[in-house]
Chains A and B, each alone.
Chain A
Amino acid sequence: MHRVVITGMGTINALGTDVPTTLEAFREGRCGIGPLEFRDVERLSIRIGGQVRDYDPEASFNRQQIALYDRFTQFTLLAAQEAVGQSGLSFAGELAARSGVVLGTAGGGVTTWDENYRTVYEEGKNRVHPFVVPKLMNNAAASHVSMTHNLKGPSFTVATACASSNHAMGQAFQLIRSGMCTVMLTGGSESMLCFGGVKAWEGLRVMSKDACRPFSANRNGMVQGEGAGVFVFEEMEHAKKRGATILAEVIGFAMTSDAADIVMPSQQGAARAIRGAMQDAKVNPEQIGYINAHGTGTAANDKTECAAVADALGHHADAVMISSTKSMHGHLIGGTGAVELLACILALRDGIIAPTIGYEEPDPECALDVVPNVAREAKVDVVLSNAFAFGGLNAVLALRKV
């Protein structure tokens, strides 16, 4: 069994266009959620989101690349560039053959679907651009990362709704741990903040019209975000041999299925995943200092998640810190676990616990230390990151300080 460490990280999301800006926002408890800006937004009843603002694709990509890259692919490539740059790796020969990409996304090129449906249905045109398919396919981002960075080993995309990124990072972890790969680029991205994307979510009636307030008694739903998070996972000896800066060690992963309901979460399913990640990591509940919650801000998720944490951690649940950074960057759906892993690294490396902002009223059903509103300094050695998806698919990662 090989040990797996993180040697690079990159992001773009509503809080910033890189990791330092995002971590600064976590420290300050800054909110990136605001009024949505796109065509036909006035026809939506939900008009807020964690949108990446002032984004100019032409600043990073040429015309031909833009013709081929959906927004979710662009975000992924930007995050991957930052992560690979930090790692100091370049891929050639044997290393390229033993390195790959596993990314999560729930919707893939949603804006490409949206724009082209508009063209053929609303505008009545009978012709669409030839790159619609390669642009919208869910694996477009993973494929472009592999092409851009010459990664020739296993590459694929995982789609498990809101757990996509955690499932993806779990696969990357296992590919290196088993000895199949040396380096994996992993994480995920999502960009469904367009008329059709938000309209679909609106239909489910789980969205908040004003704010994402996880664990707060007056919470009234989730708020969507967009962006990407990409990490360089590397076999530990390989990283040490080349003198790389190690950000954290990935020590455990577990996934479970509720086998119960297509949208309602299950305390048992979530608790089994949390317990499974601790067992895989060979740690006791008492060693867990921080949990990055799934914490969507819906009535159902937050109380179920708190009950699952209490179940899995026992008495230690009262001592552990648990926060939801979705209150700041929104719910990135298939990309959310990746951006949230940044808060785990912030906790381990810098000793800063990102807060749950927007917290206004205690909820007896969420009676844990949710680090309300203000970031906290604390030394933690082991953290967990939760993701619980629609469809009852749960994925939990465990990380350790190095």
Chain B
Amino acid sequence: MSSEVQDKVIEIIAEQAVLEVSDVKLDATLEDLGIDSMGLVESIFAIEEAFDIQVPFNANEPEKSEFDISSVGAIVTAIEALVAEQKGT
């Protein structure tokens, strides 16, 4: 199932990975897509700008973060939850 949030998140990740949107699959990890830690924080910045939300993420301990980055699908789910929580939609 596609959503506006999903499309935008995938677009941001695709741009960061220098890939076509169609090449970014939900089950892919950031590593699969060649996005390193700098690329990750840049993507989070772009996501925050796009949705006007705060993403709780500390690059020192990504595994302890409430924000699940284990796959593109997990990121989309997390962003959908954050948008709903912070924007009340």
Interface string of A113-136 (1 = CB under 8 A from B): 000000000000001011100000
Give Cα distance in the complex from A130 to B38, angstroms. Answer: 8
CB distance from B67 to the nearest CB of A (A): 15
Q: Of A67, A127, A131, which one neighbours B48 at CB under 8 angstroms?
A: A127
CB distance from A33 to the nearest CB of B (A): 37
Closest partner residue, chain A, to B42 (CB atom): A130
CB distance from B20 to the nearest CB of A (A): 16
Task: Enumerate B25-65 residues with CB–CB distance to A below 8 Å.
Answer: 38, 41-42, 44-45, 48-49
Contact assessment for B45 and A67 in the assembled complex, using a CB-CB cutoff below 8 Å: no
Contacts of B41 in A (CB 8 A): 130
Contacts of B44 in A (CB 8 A): 130
How would you classify the secondary structure of chain B's contact residues: helix, strand, loop or mixed? helix
Contact assessment for B49 and A131 in the assembled complex, using a CB-CB cutoff below 8 Å: no
Contact assessment for A127 and B42 in the assembled complex, using a CB-CB cutoff below 8 Å: no
Contacts of A129 in B (CB 8 A): 42, 45
Contacts of A127 in B (CB 8 A): 45, 48-49
Contacts of A131 in B (CB 8 A): 38, 42
CB distance from A128 to the nearest CB of B (A): 8
Task: Enumerate A265-310 residues with CB–CB distance to B below 8 Å.
Answer: none
Contacts of A67 in B (CB 8 A): 42
Closest partner residue, chain A, to B54 (CB atom): A127
Closest partner residue, chain B, to A134 (CB atom): B38
Give Cα distance in the complex from A265 to B71, angstroms. Answer: 61
Task: Enumerate A45-81 residues with CB–CB distance to B below 8 Å.
Answer: 67
Contacts of B49 in A (CB 8 A): 127
CB distance from A144 to the nearest CB of B (A): 14
Choose among A67, A130, A131 the residue with the greatest number of B CB atoms under 10 Å from its CB.
A130
Can you name 10 extra interface pairs (CB under 8 A) apart from A130-B38, A130-B44? A67-B42, A127-B45, A127-B48, A127-B49, A129-B42, A129-B45, A130-B42, A130-B45, A131-B38, A131-B42
| Residues of chain B whose beta carbon lies under 8 Å from any beta carbon of chain A | 38, 41-42, 44-45, 48-49
Report 9 cross-chain contacts, Cβ distance below 8 Å, ordered by A residue: A67-B42, A127-B48, A127-B49, A129-B42, A129-B45, A130-B38, A130-B44, A131-B38, A131-B42
| 3 A-B pairs with the lowest CB-CB distances in the bound complex, closest first | A130-B41, A130-B45, A130-B42
